[in-house]
């Protein structure tokens, strides 16, 4: 059995109850989250940088996935998944254009009313987020809970979220 991030194991029951059966693991790395969910009956697509995808494609376990693609394919794929996972990815994207592309790809591949689980961590353990941001995150720690994208209908709402995330220290080095 594959060991997933704590957030994935914590919310897996919620995903199932919410009928979030199709998942895109965006920035899948070693496939630990994708394989965990596939082993638990979810239909999972994984996407990462082309060089990472080539490494993972030869693993026999990758056959459990519905698809393994490089991030360049996401702009046109329109998967319509119920859930997009982003664990420890968004915070390492430093360029505004790449952050925008990442969020555009999330919206393009997520069904209306779907879920985005985005998890970031500050580089220093125990660093707190700004008090003005804690009401959005549900705590003062730099590890946000799941966000629903039901309000992400326009590019301006994504830009607002991107600006908010930068204000909260989710993109900047702590």
The pLDDT tens digits for 122-169 are 544 455 544 444 444 444 444 443 344 444 444 444 444 444 444 443
Region for residue 65 given its phi and psi (left: phi exceeds 0; alpha: psi -120 to 50; beta: otherwise):
beta
Report the distance separating Cα 129 and Cα 73, nearest Å: 34
Q: What predicted TM-score, i.e. pTM, was given to this entire model? A: 0.71
| pLDDT number for residue 84 | 93
The radius of gyration of the chain from alpha carbons, rounded to an integer in Å, stands at 15
Of 169 and 56, the structure prediction assigns the larger pLDDT to 56
- Give me the chain's average pLDDT, please: 76
Please list the residues that pair with 69 across neighbouring strands: 47
Structural domains of the chain sorted by starting position, each given as residue range(s) with its CATH number in brackets: 6-167 (3.40.50.150)
Q: Which of 106, 46, 102, 96 is nearest to 70 (CA)?
A: 46
* Confidence category of residue 100, pLDDT binned at 50, 70, 90: confident
**Residue 56 · residue 37 · CB < 8 Å:** no
Dist. CA 170–CA 103, nearest whole Å: 14
Both tokens of residue 116?
């985005």
Looking at residue 88, its pLDDT comes to: 81
Q: At what angle do helices 96-109 and 155-167 cross, to 10 degrees?
A: 130
The token pair that represents 121 in the structure block: 């961590």
Name the DSSP letter for residue 116: E
């Amino acid at each position: 059995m594959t060991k997933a991030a704590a957030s994935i194991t914590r919310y897996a029951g919620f995903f199932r109850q919410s009928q979030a059966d199709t998942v895109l693991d965006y920035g899948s790395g070693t496939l630990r989250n994708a394989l965990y969910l596939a082993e638990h009956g979810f239909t999972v697509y994984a996407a990462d940088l082309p060089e990472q995808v080539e490494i993972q494609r030869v693993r026999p376990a990758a056959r459990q996935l519905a698809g393994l693609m490089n991030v360049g394919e996401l702009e046109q794929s329109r998967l319509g998944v119920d859930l997009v996972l982003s664990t420890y990815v968004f915070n390492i994207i430093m360029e505004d254009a790449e952050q925008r592309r990442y969020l555009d790809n999330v919206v393009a591949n997520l069904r209306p009313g779907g879920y985005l689980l985005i998890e970031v961590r500050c580089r220093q353990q125990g660093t707190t987020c700004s008090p003005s941001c804690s009401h959005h995150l549900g705590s003062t720690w730099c590890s946000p809970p799941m966000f629903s994208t039901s309000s992400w209908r326009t590019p301006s709402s994504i830009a607002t979220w991107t600006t908010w995330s930068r204000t909260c220290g989710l993109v900047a080095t702590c």
